[in-house]
């Protein structure tokens, strides 16, 4: 497999994401993963990238399989979903648009701010 390794930097993160066609979010099925926020999947999806993620942890709550991205359990499913996205630009574009819509509806700062304020008002 021919890979290009890109070293992450805060300054180039958005620019680097703009070069991607598909977000890839593999996770080991281990307890510590259950504490992760799923930020990487949300970041990919915010950039209109269809994402393939392990069907585990918070990814299950973020991704609507087949609607805004894909979840995969087995190596075969990973290969099938990635191949499907590589071969079908229209599917990539549709899932990517749905992914961005999902992030705007569920994770945008206005939405999160409102949720935090509701919680704080209940406590105070």
Task: Report the 3 state secondary structure along 57-91.
Answer: CCHHHHCCECCCEEEECCHHHHHHHHHHHHHCHHH
Is the pLDDT confidence value at 124 over 90? no
- Write the DSSP symbol of residue 33: G
Please give the class, per CATH, of domain 13-123.
Answer: alpha beta
Confidence at residue 45, expressed as pLDDT on a 0 to 100 scale: 98
Where are the domains positioned within the chain? 13-123
Confidence at residue 84, expressed as pLDDT on a 0 to 100 scale: 98
Confidence at residue 2, expressed as pLDDT on a 0 to 100 scale: 80
* Mean pLDDT for the stretch of residues 65-89: 97
pLDDT tens, position by position, 10-61? 999 999 999 999 999 999 999 999 999 999 999 999 999 999 999 999 999 9
Confidence at residue 1, expressed as pLDDT on a 0 to 100 scale: 66
Do the beta carbons of residue 38 and residue 61 sit within 8 Å? Answer: yes
What is the percent of the chain where pLDDT is above 70?
Answer: 99
- Mark 59-71 as b/e (b = at least 16 C-beta within 10 Å): beebbeeeebbbb
Question: To the nearest whole number, what is the mean pLDDT of the chain?
Answer: 95
Confidence at residue 39, expressed as pLDDT on a 0 to 100 scale: 95
Is the pLDDT confidence value at 4 over 90? no
pTM: 0.89
């Amino acid at each position: 497999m021919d890979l290009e390794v890109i070293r992450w930097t805060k300054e180039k993160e958005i620019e680097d994401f703009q070069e991607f066609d598909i977000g890839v979010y593999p996770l080991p099925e281990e307890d510590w993963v259950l504490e992760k926020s799923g930020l990487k999947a949300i970041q990919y999806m915010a950039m209109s990238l269809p994402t393939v993620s392990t069907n585990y942890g918070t990814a299950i709550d973020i991704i609507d399989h087949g609607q805004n991205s894909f979840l995969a359990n087995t190596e075969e499913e990973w290969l099938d979903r990635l191949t499907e996205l590589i071969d079908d630009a229209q599917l990539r574009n549709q899932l990517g648009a749905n992914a961005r819509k999902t992030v705007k509806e569920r994770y945008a700062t206005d939405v999160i701010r409102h949720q935090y304020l509701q919680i704080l008002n209940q406590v105070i």
